[in-house]
Amino acid sequence: MLLIILAIWFGYKKARDSGRNPFAWAAISGGVFIGTQLLVGIGFGILLAIGQEVWGWDDNVFDKYSVVISIPALVLSLIALWLLFRFLDRRPKVEEYAAPPPPPRFDQNDQS
């Protein structure tokens, strides 16, 4: 719970410092952290369900390996956040426009 709060807070600060929308990037940071853990958990759940059906593993195999599943989920979530924070550290490109040409000058000699 503490890590999700820190992810949202640092996402907010990094987006604010780089000139992006801090509220949107705070939500994205929280979503990346939770989403990565959710996807890893679903992946391991599918693997364990296939193991139970095909190879006849125990029904309580998830209870035995819950810590083993939690560690890669946490590590991959931190890696995903690190990549997101690296993106937020880069400043958005500001388009530079060329200056318009100076206005024409009409000298006294050019008038006919």
Tell me the pLDDT tens digit for each residue of 71-83: 999 999 999 999 9
What is this structure's pTM?
0.76
Q: What type of residue sits at position 1?
A: M
Does 112 have pLDDT greater than 60? no
pLDDT of residue 23: 97
Helix or strand (DSSP H, E) at 46: helix 22-54
Report the mean per-residue pLDDT for the chain.
90
Question: Which token pair is 41?
Answer: 């958990």
The CB density around residue 85, as the number of other CB atoms within 10 Å, is: 18
Is the alpha carbon torsion for 32, 74, 86, 88 positive or negative? positive
Q: What is the pLDDT averaged over residues 37-61?
A: 92
**Count of positions (residues) in the chain:** 112
